[in-house]
Structure 1
Amino acid sequence: MGDSGTTAPYTLSTPVGNSPLQPSASPNEISVLVTGFGPFKTNLVNASYLIASSLPSSFLFPSPKGHDSDPRRVSLHVHPTPIPVAYATVREALPLMLEEFAVAHGGRRPDLIIHIGIAAPRQYYSVESLAHRDDYNITDVNGRPGYVDGEKRWKELGLPPILTPGRAADDASSASPYQPDDQFLETWRSFAPESDLRISQDAGHYLCDFIFYTSMSLAQLQGQDRNVLFLHVPGASEDANIKQGQIVTLALIKAMVACWLDKKHPA
């Protein structure tokens, strides 16, 4: 089912363009790691990476109500190359990515992580609320299913069938990530009011689901907040589609800051 042959072993390249991995200038700066995917099957151009690479390097976001401090800088660190649509590559690449980020930021993990992928038939944007451990039977661009690189390993590690964004029980951070709900959706829509935005509970048991689970599992195993979301975007890749995807992605980042960092989720 793949269309590009066997991928080479994955190595991280030096970031270029809009997202140099430089140390944060301020402890109040919010760092966001963003990834997009490469071509697969009949999708010779993957809109997810075009959207990711179109994002600005940073923007200013107001401080929470009741705080007199200046607006905070939100720095976007877009991975400089599209992630190959291959289970083994995702398994190998994410730990390297996070390690590289930490080295460049004094050991600091990204405050927020967003993975972007396409759901080609859809005409709307959806944030995924959970990721699955099992049943990655659809083959990747290398013709491989995901059992060995995912389900088998995750079961051996004792990871649960479902992972959702959330806090680590022993994490003393001030962040409060939680599974996207109606309140989160309302906030997201407030930043992109003319867009069709939804919450999904089925990331698809393919590489989108796989990278989402992989990312959260790494945080889970390290006792860190699962401060990760996956954004599904339409597959269209014309300039207007990419611009709209950029608007939606920036709105999602603002919603994550507003809901996860600025205020606690009501019980």
Structure 2
Amino acid sequence: MTVVSEINVLVTGLGLQPYPDGTDGGRIDENTSYLVTTLLPRTLEPKTALNPSANRINIITLPHYVRSEYRYVRAFCRDLHQKHADDVDVFIHLGEARGWTWLTLERAAYKQGMSSNWWSAAEQSEYYTAADDVGQTIKDLEPCPWVRLPMGLRSALDIDAVADGASAILKSRYRFERAGVCDDRLDPRADDANAVVSDSGVQRRSPIDIRPHDEGGPYLCGFLNYESLANRYAKRRELNVLFCHIPGEADPANLSRTRDGILAITVAAANEVGRRRKK
């Protein structure tokens, strides 16, 4: 008899924010990273199309988005990991990346004080000094509480294994299902630029690409990732945190594809947790 293991995964999404580069005073008024969390099921039963693993996966989402404010994010992460110190197996944070058509799993996050030359010229100053949704930067906060922590932190989960596992799950599902998962809140008849036509003439969508990526960046996404990891590291708890960037398009077809990708990442991450438990 197969023993079913329960794995709890908590997923968050960010809220309203100005564009990181301040282009034309632009603003993200509807953040897809939070919208996607509202489309996730509460449970993924084992040995199903959504979850081919032997794990029953419980998905915990929040009734509100994470406000795009440095001060709020720091307090949010502190409270989150105090409340869920032991009852969550994987934390998955989502952030929006406008213009991207793929999902990323970020390998690392950096502490305030970091600077780099691998972002655009406008973003090569010290990290987290672009204004947040209330016009503040990291300079407006209290002194950094993580002085004794490493400049960079990374997840304890194998990012490449999670990305590969999620991609395999998606390819298998999309091979046998006509259009991914259907949801009453999404219109499956919506035009999909990622649809392909099979030899039989049936329209099928291609799965979203899932890629490992170096880091979450010098703005709120990278900041949230580091703060979440730091709260675990400081208490010597497992760094069971993932950060994913998702596309910014909020039309039904793209939200559906993105949700499918996040569900696949959730299952792949749960599989990694299950393997680690057996060691």
1:184, distance to aligned residue in structure 2 (A)? 3.3
- Give the corresponding residue for 1:200: 213
Query: How far apart in 2 are the matches of 1:86 and 1:163?
Result: 21
Written as runs of structure 1 = structure 2, the 5 A alignment for 1:89-104 is: 89-101=72-84
Is this contact kept in 2: 1:133–1:150, CA < 8 A? no
Q: Please say if 1:232 is aligned against 2:240.
A: no
Answer 1 or 2: higher relative contact order, Cα 8 Å, separation at least 6. Answer: 2
Query: How big is each residue's C-alpha offset from its partner over 1:35-71, in whole Å with a ceiling of 9 and x where there is no partner?
Result: 0011112211000001011100011235xxxxxxx94
Instruction: Tell me which of 47, 55, 67 is aligned to 1:72.
Output: 55
Q: Which amino acid aligns with 2:35?
A: L
Q: Please say if 1:32 is aligned against 2:32.
A: no
Instruction: Tell me which of 21, 44, 56 is aligned to 1:59.
Output: 44
1:190, distance to aligned residue in structure 2 (A)? 0.5
Higher Rg of the two aligned structures: 2
1:137, distance to aligned residue in structure 2 (A)? 1.2
Query: How far apart in 1 are the matches of 2:246 and 2:106?
Result: 11
Query: How big is each residue's C-alpha offset from its partner over 1:125-158, in whole Å with a ceiling of 9 and x where there is no partner?
Result: 1110100113211110111112454883322xx0
- Give the corresponding residue for 1:162: 152
Match of 1:201, SS state, is strand
Query: How far apart in 2 are the matches of 1:34 and 1:149?
Result: 26
Match of 2:17, SS state, is coil
Query: How far apart in 1 are the matches of 2:162 and 2:60?
Result: 23
Query: How far apart in 2 are the matches of 1:207 and 1:120?
Result: 14
Is this contact kept in 1: 2:99–2:247, CA < 8 A? yes
Q: Which moved more, 1:146-155 or 1:128-137?
A: 146-155
Query: How far apart in 2 are the matches of 1:207 and 1:154?
Result: 17
RMSD across aligned positions (CA): 2.5
Q: Please say if 1:45 is aligned against 2:22.
A: no
Percentage identity across aligned positions? 26
Query: How far apart in 1 are the matches of 2:150 and 2:233?
Result: 10
Instruction: Tell me which of 115, 118, 128 is aligned to 2:93.
Output: 115
Question: For structure 2, which runs of at least 5 residues remain unmatched after alignment?
Answer: 19-26, 48-52, 113-126, 172-206
**When the two structures are aligned, how many residues end up with a matched partner?**
215
Q: Which moved more, 1:188-197 or 1:46-55?
A: 188-197
Match of 1:210, SS state, is helix
Higher strand share: 2
Query: How far apart in 2 are the matches of 1:190 and 1:93?
Result: 33
Question: For structure 1, which runs of at least 5 residues remain unmatched after alignment?
Answer: 1-26, 63-69, 103-107, 167-176
Written as runs of structure 1 = structure 2, the 5 A alignment for 1:132-211 is: 132-134=110-112, 135-147=127-139, 149=141, 152-155=144-147, 158-166=148-156, 177-178=157-158, 180-181=159-160, 183-193=161-171, 194-211=207-224
Query: How big is each residue's C-alpha offset from its partner over 1:152-204, in whole Å with a ceiling of 9 and x where there is no partner?
Result: 3322xx011110012xxxxxxxxxx33x12x4322121012222111110311
Is this contact kept in 2: 1:98–1:109, CA < 8 A? no
- Give the corresponding residue for 1:260: 273
Is this contact kept in 2: 1:150–1:210, CA < 8 A? no
Query: How big is each residue's C-alpha offset from its partner over 1:100-127, in whole Å with a ceiling of 9 and x where there is no partner?
Result: 446xxxxx33100000010112111111
Q: Which amino acid aligns with 1:123?
A: T
Q: Please say if 1:214 is aligned against 2:227.
A: yes
Query: How big is each residue's C-alpha offset from its partner over 1:201-223, in whole Å with a ceiling of 9 and x where there is no partner?
Result: 03111111111111110110111
* TM-score (norm. length: structure 2): 0.71
1:263, distance to aligned residue in structure 2 (A)? 5.2
Match of 2:250, SS state, is coil
Q: Which amino acid aligns with 2:243?
A: F
